[in-house]
């Protein structure tokens, strides 16, 4: 893309100039539609979410057998929610904005098996691939059988002749590698330059082949895809184009209806729910948002959060060019502490689906990622990795921005905010080694909001 083309895009959407200048912005999505209308325009809906949910339930006996830590939920991979009132009070005071409603944290950092939101889509896709192979080769006659058979040595020997490959900045690879190896697959993970050393070491220690690239996420995915396509027994988990990844994430959003009810949280027209989701390539926040929308309809409002250096979803949606544009076209793409969100180009598949579902998005500087990490730890004794804290400031960004206030007025929500629930999706952190935690906290201690 030429300088002239970018200038024309900025002329059409002046907020892009602030994006280009690496400034924090809040963007209201004017393309968002009522949930039923938006759903009618795409190929997926509740039926596909329920199919994914049922598949995960079929695998629950295998998961419980293989991972005893899931026994409390009978093999279902799910995380709790926690209210974080001290953090809200801190932000209210620090930002001089008393946000109405309560602030909760979705603890995907505590998800069993791989400790990040990627466990949802990635583990689901690996399990679906294993089920497909088992049915094709006669290890399962139908889907009504006992799936604990997947823990048998016979099945592991069978899967060992097949490869699963993925390209990643880190967490997706951990989820694919962990479940792939547990089933017996040969697993190859192509990791981009942003990937943390501890994530590479973790994968190597469980028998995954890790191929390191001195390039960004998109290039690592491209090389991984090419290698996988050259091997007829290899299956590529495609973070840029996978429908199965997307559908795996939707289950997490859809399950929130039951979880909110159990927590005594009302979500209806008078009690709106606002959800703030860290966003890299878009699959996990997009899938979760789609599931939330199918569960709560127009009573839930979802906003994605990105680093100022890597606002790939925002650029894709604001320009409506989706994956045809990269952050590099805007002179961005420098390093960011939020390594899990370091993706220069959004998923075209997800961005095109989500253009009518996301309510908007906002960006954060590295200094603010660090400040949120440090203050969450000091106020709530919760450690999240840098990328995972992006949603925590969402309610305040909504309240303090002109675009956020405009959104609330358009949706006739101003008078309902005292009864609102704000939920930040905490996407990872429990697997970070102690030494790395200390380093993150030390590096963040002087950062300020």
- Cα–Cα distances (Å) from 391 to 104, 107, 272, 412, in that order, read 10, 12, 17, 23
Query: What CATH topology corresponds to 3-114+245-444?
Result: Rossmann fold (3.40.50)
What residue spans define the domains of the chain? 3-114+245-444, 118-242
Asked whether the beta carbons of 299 and 261 are under 8 A apart, the reply is: no
Output phi, psi for 102, to 5 deg.
-110, 150
Domain 118-242 coded CATH 3.40.50.300: no
Q: Looking at residue 191, what is its pLDDT?
A: 86
Q: Tokens 């689901």 identify what position?
A: 124
Asked whether the beta carbons of 319 and 292 are under 8 A apart, the reply is: no
Compute mean pLDDT per 10 residues along the chain, 449 residues long, and list them. 77 95 97 98 96 98 96 96 98 97 97 94 97 97 96 97 91 94 97 85 95 81 89 92 95 98 98 98 97 98 98 97 95 92 94 98 98 98 97 98 98 98 97 94 95
Q: Looking at residue 206, what is its pLDDT?
A: 96
Q: Where are the alpha helices (DSSP H) in 255-393?
A: 256-262, 283-296, 312-319, 348-354, 366-380
Q: Looking at residue 251, what is its pLDDT?
A: 98
Q: Looking at residue 165, what is its pLDDT?
A: 96
Q: Looking at residue 196, what is its pLDDT?
A: 84
Q: Tokens 């899931």 identify what position?
A: 70
What are the counts of helices (DSSP H) followed by strands (DSSP E) for the chain?
20, 11
The tokens for 151 are 């823990």
Q: Where are the alpha helices (DSSP H) in 21-84?
A: 35-40, 46-58, 60-66
Q: Looking at residue 212, what is its pLDDT?
A: 87
Asked whether the beta carbons of 19 and 314 are under 8 A apart, the reply is: yes
Q: Looking at residue 340, what is its pLDDT?
A: 87
CA dist 153 and 182 (Å) reads: 11
CA dist 216 and 326 (Å) reads: 12
DSSP string, 330-357: GT-----S-GGG--SS--HHHHHHHTTT
Asked whether the beta carbons of 359 and 423 are under 8 A apart, the reply is: no
Q: Looking at residue 69, what is its pLDDT?
A: 94
CA dist 49 and 254 (Å) reads: 8
Q: Looking at residue 13, what is its pLDDT?
A: 93
Assign 235 to helix, strand or coil. strand
């Amino acid at each position: 893309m030429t300088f002239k083309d970018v200038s024309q895009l900025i002329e059409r959407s002046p907020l892009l100039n602030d994006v280009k200048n690496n400034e924090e912005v809040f963007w209201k999505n004017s393309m968002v539609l009522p949930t039923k209308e938006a759903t009618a325009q795409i190929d997926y809906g509740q039926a596909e979410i329920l199919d994914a949910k049922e598949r995960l339930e079929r695998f629950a006996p295998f998961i419980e057998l293989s991972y005893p830590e899931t026994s409390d939920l009978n093999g279902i991979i799910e995380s709790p929610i926690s209210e974080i009132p001290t953090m809200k009070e801190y932000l209210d005071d620090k930002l001089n904005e008393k946000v109405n409603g309560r602030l909760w944290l979705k603890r995907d950092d505590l998800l069993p098996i791989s400790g990040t939101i990627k466990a949802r889509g990635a583990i689901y896709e690996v399990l679906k691939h294993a089920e497909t192979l088992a049915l094709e080769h006669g290890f399962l006659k139908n889907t009504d059988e006992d799936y604990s058979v997947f823990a048998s040595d016979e099945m592991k020997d069978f899967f060992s002749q097949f490869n699963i490959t993925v390209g990643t900045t880190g967490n997706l690879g951990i989820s694919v590698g962990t479940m792939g190896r547990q089933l017996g697959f040969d697993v190859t993970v192509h990791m981009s330059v942003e990937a943390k050393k501890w994530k590479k070491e973790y994968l190597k220690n469980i028998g995954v082949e890790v191929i390191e690239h001195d390039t960004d996420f998109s290039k690592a995915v491209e090389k991984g895809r090419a290698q996988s396509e050259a091997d007829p027994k290899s299956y590529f988990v495609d973070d840029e184009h996978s429908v199965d990844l997307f559908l795996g994430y939707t289950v997490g959003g859809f399950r929130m209806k039951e979880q909110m009810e159990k927590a005594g949280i009302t979500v209806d027209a008078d009690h709106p729910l606002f959800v703030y989701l860290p966003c890299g390539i878009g699959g996990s926040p997009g899938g979760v948002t789609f599931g939330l929308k199918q569960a709560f309809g127009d009573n839930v409002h979802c906003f994605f959060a990105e680093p100022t250096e890597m606002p790939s979803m925002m650029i894709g949606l604001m320009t409506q060019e989706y994956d045809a544009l990269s952050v590099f076209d805007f002179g961005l793409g420098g390093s960011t502490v939020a390594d899990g969100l370091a993706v220069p180009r959004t998923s075209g598949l997800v961005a095109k689906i989500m253009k009518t579902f996301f309510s908007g998005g906002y960006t954060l500087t590295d200094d603010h990622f660090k400040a949120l990490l440090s203050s969450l730890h000091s106020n709530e004794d919760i450690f999240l990795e840098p990328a995972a804290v992006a949603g925590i400031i969402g309610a305040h960004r909504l309240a303090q921005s002109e675009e956020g206030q405009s959104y609330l007025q358009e949706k006739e929500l101003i008078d309902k905010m005292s009864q609102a629930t704000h939920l930040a999706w905490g996407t990872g952190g429990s697997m970070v080694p102690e030494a790395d935690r200390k380093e993150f906290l030390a590096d963040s201690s002087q950062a300020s909001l």
